[in-house]
Amino acid sequence: MWCVAVAAGSFRRYATYRVATAAGVFTNTVFGFIVAYAYLALWAERPHLGGYDRAQALAFVWIAQALLAASALMGGGGLDELEERIRSGDVAVDLYRPADLQVWWLAADLGRAALQLIARGVVPLAVGALVFPLALPGDAATWGWFLVSVLLGVVVSFALRYLVALASFWLLDGSGLSLISGLACMFFSGMVLPLRVFPGGFGEVAQLLPWAAILQVPADVLVGARGGDGLLRGLVFQAAWAAALLALGRLVQSAATRKVVVQGG
């Protein structure tokens, strides 16, 4: 299928940026150490903060670093190129392709995410596991469910970023919205602190937002905070947000396409 070819092409494309990838691995690892020691100090005062023990909290840090690029936790992730194509008008060429615009960019994003997970995810997590006592599972089944959860999280991330990119059809400059979206993702995904740490009703609401599906759920699956019914509920939660946001993206895309047709005469 053409979407598989698009994903494979995207994987190969990002694989050519070897220096940038190496720099990203180094940066993720350094920040992993900084955040890990901050967590050690925090959990020394509150040993079971958010329901995590110290090993689970440290594992959460390194999982976040491993997924930072793959799940585009700081925004971008290749869809900034779509924003530029919209601003320049080159998106009209994309709309002439015998392929759906949303599916095309989703396939490309999945290829990008696969490369980033392998290239920028494995090494930081391995380094963290060598230096710190991380609560990582020893059974293949949990790792398998984790990868399924990561895939769903990437789709949710894509759907959110795709909506932001489509806003460029109406905005002269979508960079401000992209920045706000990236900050929201960092905070409400659990990148700054696990959402379970947030107090009271605020924490409960934060765990219901779509950003929680990007990092919080996959991390909880791997550290053992979700099992049995909790695992199933987490995956359903991710799948529901993915379906809803992709459907919303199609509606916005349809409206944007009509805008292009009207402007084009």
Tens digits of pLDDT across the chain (265 residues) = 788 898 999 999 989 989 999 999 999 999 999 999 999 999 999 998 989 999 999 999 999 999 999 999 887 777 888 888 888 888 888 888 788 899 999 999 999 999 999 999 999 999 999 999 999 998 999 999 999 999 999 999 999 999 999 998 888 777 788 889 989 999 999 999 999 999 989 999 999 999 999 999 999 999 989 878 999 999 999 999 999 999 999 999 999 887 654 444 4
Residue 176 amino acid letter: G
Residue 177's Cβ-count burial label (10 Å; 0-12, 13-18, 19+) is middle
Query: Global pTM?
Result: 0.93
Q: Which domain holds residue 106?
A: 2-264
d(CA 24, CA 207): 28
Number of domains the chain is built from:
1
Going by the DSSP 8-state scheme, the letter that residue 69 receives in this structure is: T
Residue-level pLDDT at 265 = 40
Closest to 145 in 3D by CA, of 74, 202, 227, 83: 227
